[in-house]
Amino acid sequence: MLSSKLAIVTGGGSGIGQEICKKLASSGAQLIVADLKKSSAESTAKLLPGSGHTAFQIDVSKYDDVERLKEFIQSSGHHPRVLDSTLLKMSREQWDDVINVNLNSIFMMSQMIARESVKSQTSLSIVNVSSIVGKIGNFGQTNYSATKAGVIGFTKSAARELATKNVRVNAILPGFIRTPMTEAMPPKVLEAMISMVPQRRLGEPEEIANAVLFLASDMSSYVTGTTIEVTGGLGM
């Protein structure tokens, strides 16, 4: 399905990102596993079926790191297919940190990879990972919710601008997904979360990866500027 295609997955060292890497590699893609922790990226790369996968250490909130990734892509000769506290007490630093990681990084990565795609005249599918809280909000997450809403708006605007350039841009909105973080929650907190979900269960990382694979592949060749909610019905 993605044979001979290059996929870049940021945050691919663990959790949902790792599952996305596994799904895309199983479909034939060659992966650049990008993560803040090089050891995590390397661990994921070793798990992947196929060959030619690369681990890449990157802080996606830093312009110089994104430029370093661009240079690596150019030197590889491949062109990418996919890119995947409470308000009253929140400090300016807490706000800025989340904005940089969740929103500024989307702009820098998308701009870099779209420019490369347009220059080389190759097709590209950008899949951004937002969150259902970008649509419905969440207590104690004003900064996180704002960034994820921003990702939705960015996705739709970028899709309009790039539609005639053979670049598709879509987003996934995960709900409550089983990760090491949820597994560490107190049982009562976890039960309260699950009670909010119409399907009465947590989502699995593979269910996010399945949606990413759809948007990354030619199965969604006529899909751009859309968001897919993978939430078990949360937020409907």
How many domains does one find in the chain? 1
Backbone φ and ψ of 131, nearest 5°: -165, 150
Domain membership of residue 235 (yes or no) is no
Rounded mean pLDDT of 23-40? 95
Domain membership of residue 1 (yes or no) is no
The domain containing residue 146 runs over which residues?
A: 6-230
Compute the Cα dihedral for 89, 91, 96, 102 and give only its sign. Answer: negative
Say whether 222 is catalytic: no
- Taking all residues of the chain, what is their mean pLDDT, rounded to a whole number? 92
Q: 197: which residues sit within 8 A by CB, 6+ positions away?
A: 175, 176, 231, 232, 233, 234
| pLDDT tens-digit series, residues 61-87 | 999 999 999 999 888 776 666 666 556
Domain membership of residue 236 (yes or no) is no
CA distance linking residue 21 with residue 44, whole number of Å: 8
Domain membership of residue 209 (yes or no) is yes
pLDDT higher than 90, residue 181 = no
Q: So what's the pLDDT on residue 90?
A: 75
Q: Which of 30, 23, 41, 36 is nearest to 62 (CA)?
A: 36
Percent of the chain with pLDDT over 70: 96
Q: So what's the pLDDT on residue 82?
A: 62
pLDDT higher than 80, residue 150 = yes
Q: Which of 33, 69, 106, 144 is catalytic?
A: 144
| pLDDT tens-digit series, residues 80-105 | 666 665 567 778 888 888 899 899 99
Domain membership of residue 160 (yes or no) is yes
Domain membership of residue 221 (yes or no) is yes
Domain membership of residue 71 (yes or no) is yes
What residue spans of the chain are helical by DSSP H? 15-26, 38-47, 63-76, 92-99, 105-120, 133-136, 142-162, 180-183, 187-195, 205-216
Domain membership of residue 116 (yes or no) is yes
Percent of the chain with pLDDT over 90: 77
Ranges 28-37, 144-153, 180-189: which has the least confidence: 180-189
pTM comes to: 0.89
> CATH number, domain at 36?
3.40.50.720
Rounded mean pLDDT of 26-32? 93
CB 30 within 8 A of CB 7: yes
| pLDDT tens-digit series, residues 214-227 | 999 999 999 999 99
